[in-house]
Amino acid sequence: MTPDEVRLLDNRKAVLLVRGERPILDEKYDLHKHVNVKYTEDGGAPPYDYAKAPLSHEDVTIDTRRLDDYELLSAGEILGREQSF
């Protein structure tokens, strides 16, 4: 297809390009028809709040009575090489 033909495509159509494969012309999927759309903002659910995520932590607590149990590592030690910042 020429760029002009692509521009004139029906808005219900999509061109899928996958490296090493021929282009595929297909109809677009209406996300509002998906069974789980109710869990998204578009489906009426509240926006996802990353601050209230169940595994998030605001602070790391360190027991100051057990400081000998902690070892502070540099970025180089963590990454396996020395870093110059």
Q: How confident is the model at residue 6 (pLDDT cuts 50, 70, 90)?
A: confident
> Do the domain assignments include residue 40?
yes
> Do the domain assignments include residue 32?
yes
**Domain total of the chain:** 1
Q: Which amino acid is at 78?
A: I
| Containing structural domain, residue 60 | 3-48+56-79
> Do the domain assignments include residue 22?
yes
> Do the domain assignments include residue 37?
yes
- With residues binned 3-state (H G I as helix, E B as strand, rest as coil), the percentages for the chain, rounded to 5, are 30, 10, 60
> Do the domain assignments include residue 84?
no
> Do the domain assignments include residue 34?
yes
pLDDT over 80 (residue 84): no
| pLDDT computed for residue 57 by the predictor | 66
| pLDDT computed for residue 75 by the predictor | 83
> Do the domain assignments include residue 85?
no
> Do the domain assignments include residue 43?
yes
